[in-house]
Amino acid sequence: MQEAFFSFISSFGYLAVFGLIFLENIFPPIPSELILPLSGFLVIQTSMELPLVIVAATVGSVTGAFVLYGIGRLLSQDRLESFFDTRPMRLLGFKSDDVSKAIGWFDRRGQITVLLCRCIPVVRSLISIPAGTAKMNMVRFSLYTLLGSAVWNTVLCSLGYAAGGAWETVTAQVEGFSDIVKVVLIVIIVVVVAFWIVKRVIPNLRENKNQ
């Protein structure tokens, strides 16, 4: 994969950086931790300029984020409430008003996460979906996404440029940080699922069994 990215960016320059980061925002498994430091390093090897590489990456980030934001808008509150009001979802402990509560929390306190999560691996892309579902103001969404993406892209591209031939060290360190984030997320998910089963699923199953 590394050689393919090297060849692609070397051949197509800014367009390749834009395209790869656009895809990375839609498909998080594509590693920006590799693409961005490599792009910074290739500034030394090609005719690209570092500021324009950062701009291309940031435009790709924002454009990709809008795709997921659009998907979130399709998952409207009414549709989600109807889905969570089905019998299988009720047996799993969900209630239709959980949707309105979650969206209400996002409107009051969660919007800043769009900015903060842009610098956190994995969730940096996915945060756009709840923002779309909550119909977050597009100007604010654009601004937060732009600022957060610009910081992430600037740091990784600049580190790759500064490291030169040792850019892979930057990638390895950022991937190590990404792995830690993934482990933390998995632990949080396991704890939340366990709590949900105890507090919602088991009582619901008992109630339906007694009916």
**Burial class of residue 11 (count of CB atoms within 10 Å of its CB; 0-12, 13-18, 19+):** exposed
Q: Which pLDDT does position 208 carry in this prediction?
A: 67
pLDDT digits (tens, 9 = 90+) for 21-51: 999 888 867 788 899 999 999 999 999 999 9
3-state percent helix, strand, coil for the chain, nearest multiple of 5? 85, 0, 15
Arithmetic mean of pLDDT, 115-123 = 79
CA atoms within 13 A on the CB side of 168: 4
CA atoms within 13 A on the CB side of 98: 14
